[in-house]
Amino acid sequence: MKITLGFPGVSQPALVGSLAVAALALFPQIASADENGISFWLPGLFGSLAATPQQPGWSLATIYYHTSVSAGADVARAREFSLGRVPANLTVNANLNLSVNATGDLGLVIPSYVFATPVLGGQASVSLLANYGVVGTSLAGTLSGVLTGPFGNNVPFARSDTISDTTWGFGDLAPIFQLRWNAGVHNYMTYITGDIPVGAYESTRLSNLGIGHGAIDAGGGYTYFNPQTGHEFSGVLGFTYNFKNTATQYQSGVDMHFDWGASQFLSKQVMVGLVGYVYKELGCDSGSGDRVGCFQSQVVGVGPQIGYLFPVGDMQGYLNFKAYGEFAAENRPSGWNTWLTFSISPPAPTPPPTTKPIVRKY
């Protein structure tokens, strides 16, 4: 069903075909899964109009993603453990002077296909994310504690570390399957995605673009969208199950994430609004390689967004910029990130001109 937006010349399928394709982006991580405070799920993956049906056919989104984050002793210590730089018999001082900083610049390409034939009464789509980029990470500070000798004697230990690493390469592949349903201004969706660990990853390297293990993530969402007023709000809740990283014998706990977006269309081409996310690890980390305990991580982010719709030949183009500032982080790097997205998708069919019946008077 096509719903015409309140602004002349813009239809809902063309609009959301661009916006929803632009939303699909997973972040190949800076360090390595939750064992160092970084999750498979990239908070902010879904945003405005996430649950609204799209126009059938092929779509393509390209995204430039930049992030800059830092973390204190908790994350830095966990990274030292996974790098194998902490002696097995060292009892680490709780008051560490360690920090880690990281930046990432990534280019993401996300082709999608929306099926015309209904599935379970809804609209089905499939997508695949591929990416290439650079991640740089530095760790500096003092690691201190006591070494436990073979006879139980304690020996003071202290070491200053300053290490850095930059990695270029491809990240993991991330397929995603979605179903969407529309009921007037109410829209519903469900999705399942996961990680295929084929990206650049080495457990002893400070920077990685792959995560070194598989993961499955699934959830559902809702969008309120009133085409007559241009009001919109979306929320998507999901959960991640992480498989064991066999290189480190570390398994991250179950993660929960909630992404949201709110927008107002100022005209048939321009929208503005806010975006945000809440991420929290619910389960404890485990495995024989876990030397930091439960290590549950969390972070909250919020920021502005602006979008612009325009024709590209006989297709529909969409340009979007959004940014997040992060806070309330625990056992996880935090900072800020920006997304610049260009997507192209099929436009909605042009409705036939309205004709009046000819009335003859005699």
pTM: 0.83
Residue 286, number of CB atoms within 10 A of its CB: 16
C-alpha span between 65 and 85 (Å, rounded): 31
C-alpha span between 204 and 227 (Å, rounded): 52
Residue 131, number of CB atoms within 10 A of its CB: 23
Give domain limits for the chain.
Answer: 12-66+103-136+165-345
Is 277 buried (19+), middle (13-18) or exposed (0-12) by CB count in 10 A?
Answer: buried
Residue 24 pLDDT > 70, yes or no?
no
Q: Mark 327-344 as b/e (b = at least 16 C-beta within 10 Å).
A: eebebbbbbebebebbbb
Mean pLDDT of all residues in the chain? 83
The arithmetic mean of pLDDT across residues 300-324, rounded, is 95
C-alpha span between 48 and 133 (Å, rounded): 26
Residue 123 pLDDT > 50, yes or no?
yes
Residue 117 pLDDT > 70, yes or no?
yes
Residue 240, number of CB atoms within 10 A of its CB: 27
Strand partners, 121: none
The hierarchical CATH code for the domain 12-66+103-136+165-345 is 2.40.160.40
Question: What pLDDT digit, counting tens, does each position of 173-231 carry?
Answer: 999 999 999 999 999 999 999 999 999 999 888 889 988 899 999 999 999 999 899 99
